Protein backbone atom coordinates (compact mmCIF):
# COMPACT_ATOMS: atom_id res chain seq x y z
CA UNK A 1 0.00 0.00 0.00
CA UNK A 2 1.32 3.43 -0.87
CA UNK A 3 0.28 7.02 -0.21
CA UNK A 4 1.66 10.57 -0.12
CA UNK A 5 3.11 12.39 2.87
CA UNK A 6 1.90 15.79 1.59
CA UNK A 7 -0.94 15.24 -0.92
CA UNK A 8 -1.87 18.96 -0.86
CA UNK A 9 1.30 19.57 -2.87
CA UNK A 10 -0.63 18.51 -5.99
CA UNK A 11 -2.51 21.82 -5.75
CA UNK A 12 0.67 23.36 -7.20
CA UNK A 13 0.32 21.51 -10.51
CA UNK A 14 -1.73 24.23 -12.31
CA UNK A 15 0.57 27.01 -11.10
CA UNK A 16 2.44 27.37 -14.46
CA UNK A 17 -0.89 27.65 -16.34
CA UNK A 18 -2.05 30.37 -13.95
CA UNK A 19 1.26 32.20 -14.26
CA UNK A 20 1.07 32.10 -18.07
CA UNK A 21 -2.54 33.27 -17.99
CA UNK A 22 -2.29 36.16 -15.57
CA UNK A 23 1.33 37.35 -15.59
CA UNK A 24 2.49 39.75 -18.32
CA UNK A 25 4.48 38.14 -21.13
CA UNK A 26 8.23 38.66 -21.08
CA UNK A 27 9.41 40.82 -23.98
CA UNK A 28 11.47 38.88 -26.46
CA UNK A 29 14.54 40.15 -28.23
CA UNK A 30 13.88 40.51 -31.96
CA UNK A 31 16.28 39.34 -34.59
CA UNK A 32 16.56 36.95 -37.45
CA UNK A 33 19.31 35.06 -39.16
CA UNK A 34 19.17 35.37 -42.91
CA UNK A 35 20.61 32.42 -44.78
CA UNK A 36 21.11 31.97 -48.51
CA UNK A 37 18.17 30.48 -50.38
CA UNK A 38 20.28 27.49 -51.46
CA UNK A 39 20.98 26.49 -47.87
CA UNK A 40 17.36 26.94 -46.83
CA UNK A 41 16.22 24.78 -49.75
CA UNK A 42 18.70 22.05 -48.85
CA UNK A 43 17.54 21.98 -45.21
CA UNK A 44 13.96 21.70 -46.33
CA UNK A 45 14.76 18.72 -48.60
CA UNK A 46 16.76 16.94 -45.85
CA UNK A 47 13.89 17.11 -43.36
CA UNK A 48 15.31 19.98 -41.38
CA UNK A 49 11.95 21.54 -40.61
CA UNK A 50 10.63 18.17 -39.34
CA UNK A 51 13.59 17.68 -37.05
CA UNK A 52 13.36 21.23 -35.87
CA UNK A 53 9.68 20.79 -35.12
CA UNK A 54 10.40 17.60 -33.16
CA UNK A 55 13.14 19.30 -31.19
CA UNK A 56 10.91 22.25 -30.45
CA UNK A 57 8.14 19.94 -29.19
CA UNK A 58 10.64 18.17 -26.95
CA UNK A 59 11.90 21.45 -25.54
CA UNK A 60 8.32 22.48 -24.79
CA UNK A 61 7.53 19.15 -23.11
CA UNK A 62 10.61 18.89 -20.89
CA UNK A 63 9.76 21.88 -18.63
CA UNK A 64 6.38 20.28 -17.92
CA UNK A 65 8.02 16.94 -17.12
CA UNK A 66 10.37 18.75 -14.73
CA UNK A 67 7.52 20.60 -13.03
CA UNK A 68 5.23 17.57 -12.62
CA UNK A 69 8.11 15.41 -11.33
CA UNK A 70 9.10 18.07 -8.78
CA UNK A 71 5.52 18.38 -7.52
CA UNK A 72 5.22 14.59 -7.16
CA UNK A 73 8.53 14.50 -5.27
CA UNK A 74 7.30 17.30 -2.99
CA UNK A 75 4.11 15.34 -2.28
CA UNK A 76 6.31 12.59 -0.83
CA UNK A 77 5.23 9.29 -2.35
CA UNK A 78 5.86 6.38 -0.01
CA UNK A 79 4.95 2.74 0.40
CA UNK A 80 4.01 0.99 3.66
CA UNK A 81 6.21 -2.05 4.29
CA UNK A 82 5.08 -5.08 6.32
CA UNK A 83 6.48 -5.03 9.88
CA UNK A 84 6.65 -7.82 12.44
CA UNK A 85 4.47 -7.35 15.51
CA UNK A 86 6.51 -7.18 18.71
CA UNK A 87 5.65 -9.06 21.91
CA UNK A 88 4.09 -6.80 24.51
CA UNK A 89 2.18 -7.25 27.72
CA UNK A 90 2.04 -3.74 29.07
CA UNK A 91 3.47 -5.00 32.37
CA UNK A 92 5.74 -3.05 34.64
CA UNK A 93 8.05 -5.31 36.66
CA UNK A 94 10.53 -4.34 39.36
CA UNK A 95 13.01 -6.93 40.58
CA UNK A 96 14.13 -6.33 44.18
CA UNK A 97 17.22 -8.41 44.97
CA UNK A 98 18.92 -8.98 48.32
CA UNK A 99 22.56 -7.85 48.18
CA UNK A 100 23.51 -8.70 51.77
CA UNK A 101 26.73 -10.44 52.75
CA UNK A 102 25.14 -13.89 52.85
CA UNK A 103 24.86 -13.79 49.04
CA UNK A 104 28.58 -14.60 48.97
CA UNK A 105 27.97 -18.13 50.22
CA UNK A 106 29.06 -20.86 47.84
CA UNK A 107 26.21 -23.35 48.00
CA UNK A 108 24.78 -23.24 44.46
CA UNK A 109 25.94 -25.26 41.47
CA UNK A 110 26.23 -23.98 37.90
CA UNK A 111 27.70 -26.03 35.06
CA UNK A 112 28.91 -28.61 37.57
CA UNK A 113 30.81 -26.06 39.67
CA UNK A 114 29.98 -24.69 43.10
CA UNK A 115 29.41 -20.93 42.89
CA UNK A 116 28.27 -18.09 45.09
CA UNK A 117 24.56 -17.38 45.42
CA UNK A 118 25.22 -14.00 43.83
CA UNK A 119 26.71 -15.62 40.72
CA UNK A 120 23.69 -17.90 40.35
CA UNK A 121 21.31 -14.96 40.68
CA UNK A 122 23.29 -12.96 38.12
CA UNK A 123 23.23 -15.75 35.57
CA UNK A 124 19.72 -17.10 36.01
CA UNK A 125 18.18 -13.73 36.89
CA UNK A 126 19.74 -12.21 33.79
CA UNK A 127 18.17 -14.91 31.61
CA UNK A 128 14.78 -14.25 33.22
CA UNK A 129 15.06 -10.50 32.58
CA UNK A 130 15.93 -11.06 28.92
CA UNK A 131 12.90 -13.33 28.58
CA UNK A 132 10.62 -10.40 29.45
CA UNK A 133 11.15 -8.53 26.18
CA UNK A 134 8.16 -6.25 25.69
CA UNK A 135 7.83 -5.44 29.40
CA UNK A 136 9.17 -2.42 31.24
CA UNK A 137 11.62 -3.84 33.79
CA UNK A 138 13.60 -2.18 36.59
CA UNK A 139 16.07 -3.38 39.21
CA UNK A 140 16.29 -2.50 42.91
CA UNK A 141 18.99 -3.94 45.18
CA UNK A 142 18.99 -3.72 48.96
CA UNK A 143 21.04 -4.56 52.05
CA UNK A 144 21.34 -1.98 54.86
CA UNK A 145 20.10 0.53 52.28
CA UNK A 146 18.20 0.23 49.04
CA UNK A 147 18.91 1.84 45.70
CA UNK A 148 17.76 1.65 42.10
CA UNK A 149 20.37 -0.21 40.07
CA UNK A 150 18.40 0.14 36.82
CA UNK A 151 15.46 2.49 36.23
CA UNK A 152 12.39 0.85 34.66
CA UNK A 153 12.93 0.54 30.93
CA UNK A 154 11.94 -1.54 27.93
CA UNK A 155 15.65 -2.16 27.29
CA UNK A 156 15.75 -5.48 29.14
CA UNK A 157 19.30 -6.15 27.96
CA UNK A 158 20.50 -3.05 29.85
CA UNK A 159 18.75 -4.24 33.03
CA UNK A 160 20.32 -7.69 32.68
CA UNK A 161 23.76 -6.06 32.34
CA UNK A 162 23.11 -3.97 35.46
CA UNK A 163 22.29 -7.15 37.39
CA UNK A 164 25.53 -8.72 36.17
CA UNK A 165 27.55 -5.78 37.50
CA UNK A 166 26.20 -5.51 41.07
CA UNK A 167 28.65 -6.22 43.89
CA UNK A 168 28.28 -7.15 47.54
CA UNK A 169 29.08 -4.35 49.97
CA UNK A 170 27.83 -1.44 47.90
CA UNK A 171 24.89 -0.85 50.27
CA UNK A 172 26.09 -2.66 53.40
CA UNK A 173 25.78 -6.30 54.40
CA UNK A 174 22.60 -6.44 56.51
CA UNK A 175 19.14 -7.19 55.07
CA UNK A 176 16.57 -4.40 54.82
CA UNK A 177 13.74 -6.23 53.08
CA UNK A 178 11.15 -3.59 53.96
CA UNK A 179 13.21 -0.73 52.50
CA UNK A 180 13.95 -2.64 49.31
CA UNK A 181 10.30 -3.54 48.85
CA UNK A 182 9.25 0.02 49.65
CA UNK A 183 11.62 1.52 47.06
CA UNK A 184 10.39 -0.91 44.40
CA UNK A 185 6.79 0.00 45.25
CA UNK A 186 7.60 3.72 45.02
CA UNK A 187 9.09 3.32 41.55
CA UNK A 188 5.98 1.51 40.35
CA UNK A 189 3.80 4.24 41.79
CA UNK A 190 5.91 6.86 40.02
CA UNK A 191 5.16 5.02 36.76
CA UNK A 192 1.46 5.13 37.63
CA UNK A 193 1.51 1.44 36.83
CA UNK A 194 -1.72 -0.50 36.94
CA UNK A 195 -1.27 -4.15 37.81
CA UNK A 196 2.46 -3.83 38.34
CA UNK A 197 4.57 -6.69 39.65
CA UNK A 198 7.43 -6.82 42.16
CA UNK A 199 9.68 -9.87 42.34
CA UNK A 200 11.33 -9.84 45.77
CA UNK A 201 14.23 -12.18 46.46
CA UNK A 202 16.01 -12.54 49.81
CA UNK A 203 18.24 -15.11 51.50
CA UNK A 204 17.99 -13.74 55.04
CA UNK A 205 15.76 -12.02 57.59
CA UNK A 206 14.73 -8.40 57.81
CA UNK A 207 17.27 -6.91 60.25
CA UNK A 208 17.87 -3.42 58.84
CA UNK A 209 15.93 -0.45 57.53
CA UNK A 210 12.91 1.38 58.86
CA UNK A 211 10.05 -0.16 56.87
CA UNK A 212 8.07 -3.17 58.04
CA UNK A 213 7.95 -5.62 55.09
CA UNK A 214 4.43 -6.93 55.71
CA UNK A 215 2.99 -3.41 55.99
CA UNK A 216 4.60 -2.43 52.69
CA UNK A 217 3.16 -5.59 51.11
CA UNK A 218 -0.31 -4.71 52.38
CA UNK A 219 0.01 -1.26 50.79
CA UNK A 220 1.08 -2.90 47.54
CA UNK A 221 -2.02 -5.09 47.64
CA UNK A 222 -4.24 -2.04 48.07
CA UNK A 223 -2.59 -0.46 45.03
CA UNK A 224 -3.18 -3.58 42.95
CA UNK A 225 0.52 -4.46 42.79
CA UNK A 226 1.44 -8.11 43.27
CA UNK A 227 4.62 -9.15 45.06
CA UNK A 228 6.07 -12.53 44.17
CA UNK A 229 8.67 -13.58 46.73
CA UNK A 230 11.65 -15.91 46.42
CA UNK A 231 13.15 -17.37 49.60
CA UNK A 232 16.73 -18.28 48.68
CA UNK A 233 18.80 -20.59 50.85
CA UNK A 234 19.12 -24.09 52.25
CA UNK A 235 17.84 -23.42 55.80
CA UNK A 236 14.76 -21.59 57.11
CA UNK A 237 14.46 -19.62 60.34
CA UNK A 238 12.02 -22.31 61.49
CA UNK A 239 14.81 -24.93 61.26
CA UNK A 240 18.12 -23.04 61.11
CA UNK A 241 20.40 -25.91 62.09
CA UNK A 242 23.97 -24.59 62.09
CA UNK A 243 23.18 -21.83 59.57
CA UNK A 244 23.96 -18.45 61.18
CA UNK A 245 21.80 -16.57 58.70
CA UNK A 246 18.82 -18.69 57.53
CA UNK A 247 16.18 -17.28 55.21
CA UNK A 248 12.92 -16.06 56.71
CA UNK A 249 10.68 -17.97 54.32
CA UNK A 250 7.62 -17.49 56.53
CA UNK A 251 7.79 -13.69 56.33
CA UNK A 252 8.35 -13.80 52.58
CA UNK A 253 5.29 -16.01 52.23
CA UNK A 254 3.23 -13.56 54.30
CA UNK A 255 4.43 -10.71 52.05
CA UNK A 256 3.27 -12.57 48.96
CA UNK A 257 -0.10 -13.43 50.47
CA UNK A 258 -0.72 -9.86 51.65
CA UNK A 259 -0.22 -8.51 48.12
CA UNK A 260 -1.92 -11.24 46.14
CA UNK A 261 1.34 -12.67 44.88
CA UNK A 262 2.97 -16.10 45.03
CA UNK A 263 5.76 -17.31 47.33
CA UNK A 264 8.54 -19.56 46.01
CA UNK A 265 11.19 -21.58 47.86
CA UNK A 266 14.60 -21.96 46.22
CA UNK A 267 17.39 -24.22 47.45
CA UNK A 268 19.23 -25.02 44.22
CA UNK A 269 20.02 -23.49 40.84
CA UNK A 270 17.43 -25.78 39.30
CA UNK A 271 14.82 -24.39 41.69
CA UNK A 272 15.77 -20.85 40.63
CA UNK A 273 15.33 -21.69 36.95
CA UNK A 274 11.95 -23.29 37.70
CA UNK A 275 10.83 -20.17 39.58
CA UNK A 276 11.61 -18.01 36.55
CA UNK A 277 9.52 -20.29 34.38
CA UNK A 278 6.67 -20.26 36.90
CA UNK A 279 6.64 -16.46 37.10
CA UNK A 280 6.63 -16.24 33.30
CA UNK A 281 3.58 -18.51 33.35
CA UNK A 282 1.88 -16.36 36.01
CA UNK A 283 2.65 -13.08 34.25
CA UNK A 284 1.91 -14.07 30.67
CA UNK A 285 2.18 -11.59 27.86
CA UNK A 286 -1.23 -10.44 26.75
CA UNK A 287 -0.39 -10.62 23.04
CA UNK A 288 1.36 -8.70 20.34
CA UNK A 289 1.56 -4.96 20.08
CA UNK A 290 0.23 -3.48 16.84
CA UNK A 291 3.08 -3.52 14.33
CA UNK A 292 4.73 -0.18 13.82
CA UNK A 293 4.17 1.33 10.38
CA UNK A 294 7.41 1.35 8.42
CA UNK A 295 7.35 3.43 5.24
CA UNK A 296 9.81 3.49 2.38
CA UNK A 297 10.17 6.97 0.92
CA UNK A 298 9.91 7.09 -2.90
CA UNK A 299 10.36 10.82 -3.55
CA UNK A 300 13.88 10.22 -4.85
CA UNK A 301 12.51 8.65 -8.07
CA UNK A 302 10.44 11.63 -9.33
CA UNK A 303 13.21 13.94 -8.12
CA UNK A 304 15.71 11.98 -10.22
CA UNK A 305 13.37 12.21 -13.22
CA UNK A 306 13.18 15.99 -12.78
CA UNK A 307 16.98 16.18 -12.65
CA UNK A 308 17.41 14.10 -15.82
CA UNK A 309 14.76 16.14 -17.66
CA UNK A 310 16.47 19.39 -16.62
CA UNK A 311 19.80 18.01 -17.81
CA UNK A 312 18.27 17.04 -21.17
CA UNK A 313 16.74 20.51 -21.56
CA UNK A 314 20.06 22.16 -20.76
CA UNK A 315 21.91 20.02 -23.33
CA UNK A 316 19.20 20.69 -25.90
CA UNK A 317 19.48 24.43 -25.43
CA UNK A 318 23.27 24.26 -25.57
CA UNK A 319 23.03 22.37 -28.86
CA UNK A 320 20.95 25.25 -30.26
CA UNK A 321 23.53 27.71 -29.12
CA UNK A 322 21.16 29.47 -26.71
**Do 203 and 219 contact (CB within 8 A), yes or no?**
no
pLDDT band at 220 (very low <50, low <70, confident <90, very high): very high
At residue 123, does pLDDT exceed 60? yes
Strands 197-202 and 226-232, how do they pair? parallel
Closest CA to 242 of 234, 250, 231, 254: 234
Taking the mean position of all CA atoms in its chain, how far away is CA 214? 36
Average pLDDT of span 22-51: 56
Q: What gap in Å lies between CA 56 and CA 165, rounded to an integer?
A: 75
- 322 or 198, which is more confident: 198
- 255 or 292, which is more confident: 255
DSSP lists the bridge partners of residue 142 as 98, 146
pLDDT (0 to 100) of residue 227: 95
pLDDT (0 to 100) of residue 204: 80
pLDDT (0 to 100) of residue 161: 94
pLDDT (0 to 100) of residue 36: 57
Average pLDDT of span 187-204: 85
Amino acid sequence: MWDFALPLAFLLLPLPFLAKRFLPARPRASGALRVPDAIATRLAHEGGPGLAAAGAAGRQLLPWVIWVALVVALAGPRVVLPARALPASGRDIILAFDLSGSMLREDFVLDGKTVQRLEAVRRIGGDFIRSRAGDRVGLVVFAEQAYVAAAPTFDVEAVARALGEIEIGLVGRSTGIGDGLGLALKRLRDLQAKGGVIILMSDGSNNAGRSVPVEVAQLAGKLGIRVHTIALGVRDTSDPGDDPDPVDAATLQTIAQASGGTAFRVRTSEDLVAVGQAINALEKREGLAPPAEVRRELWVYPASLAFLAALALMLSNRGRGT
